Amino acid sequence: MKDIYKKIQEQFFSLNISHISEPKDQLHLYADYIELVCIISNDYVSQRDIIDRLIDSGVEFKLEKEKLDGEIGQIDSEIYDLEESWIINIFEYLKERAVNFGANYPFIIDSNGIIFSKDKLNDSQYLYVYLLLSSSLNYFKTVKHELTSEFEIISEKALQSYLPNAVVYGFGSNTIFKGNAKEKIKNLAKEINIEVKERILNQISKHNSKEEGLDIVGWLPFKDNNPNTIIIFGQCACGQNWLNKQNETRRYDRFYESYLLPFIHALFVPHDFRNYNGEFGFDKDINNHTLVFERRRILELLDNFTFDNSFDSKLIVDKCIEYVEDIV
């Protein structure tokens, strides 16, 4: 396994975030993109800077050209207006973030539509940058493992903060449970005092060492050790395919026997779920009976959290903040 310093050197030797190919209605992804550009450019970034950068990387804003009528100059002007309207919409979203995240937000957006990083980041703003990087793994593939594995630790701490009287364990890459998948699942059942469904469990190969889709588990025990308690199975999903990941912990409904109370399934994501009057903008895509921990909630729960030197992600965030993009 590569030394983390070598991986960081390789990652930032030629960091390139010029390209984004997501549908242009995915405003949260473009908002993240703009924040990343702001960090690595180490400079003020304007709305027009972003438009020019996207056009240079091949993003097509002329998809509606066939709908436009008039002379070439007039059409170019109308296309320009489309571009401006689109980017203004995203910057309005960024202003919402600045309000919603408050003191946790590491950027300033002025009245002229200029975004820039704050001079000195506090711990919560630092954590925001980490979550931003973890939401943008397509740009940080060399250090992807460090970002995702430590997001499990961050999520574990968030759940512990949410339920301070709960017993919380990591069950993914950071776990105390040893052995193959079947042994881990059985040992967890003993810890919580719940019954396993042997017939279902026996379908898992003894050669399977993975945890079968569970990253975090937490429960609120009573002194009577009765399994009639709140039990949460959590999945961490940093990538853009988080929609598909949210079903993975539900297989534990088949592995274990719940006692009088259904298991709770939780999804931990570093992404920002736009909040419309107290409802997630993605609520139509989130499974029923899912407890969601997204960027804003994680930051609120970890308001006293600081990265120490035990986190490789601290080195990655440090490097990203001090990095200056090479403009050619």
More confident residue, 21 or 277: 277
From 19-28, 172-181, 254-263, 303-312, the region with the lowest mean pLDDT: 19-28
Torsion of CA 118, 119, 125, 130, to 10 degrees: 100
- Element (DSSP H or E) covering residue 107: strand 107-109
Strand partners, 117: 107
Would you state the pLDDT for residue 82? Answer: 77
pLDDT digits (tens, 9 = 90+) for 123-172: 999 999 999 999 999 999 999 999 999 999 999 999 999 999 999 999 98
Would you state the pLDDT for residue 37? Answer: 93
3-state SS assignment for residue 272: coil
3-state SS assignment for residue 212: coil
Q: Is the pLDDT of residue 219 over 70?
A: yes
Enumerate residues 6+ apart whose C-beta is below 8 A from 254.
197, 200
Q: Is the pLDDT of residue 179 over 70?
A: yes
pLDDT digits (tens, 9 = 90+) for 232-267: 999 999 988 887 888 899 999 999 999 999 999 999
pTM reported for the whole predicted model: 0.90
Q: How far apart are CA 248 and CA 115, in angstroms?
A: 38
Q: How large a percentage of the chain has pLDDT more than 90? A: 57
The CATH T-level fold of domain 144-306 is: Trna Endonuclease; Chain: A, domain 1 (3.40.1350)
Would you state the pLDDT for residue 55? Answer: 82
Would you state the pLDDT for residue 172? Answer: 83
Domain ranges of the chain: 4-139+317-322, 144-306
Would you state the pLDDT for residue 53? Answer: 86
Residues of the chain by 3-state class (helix, strand, coil), percent to 5: 45, 10, 40
Please give the structure tokens belonging to residue 154: 């961050």
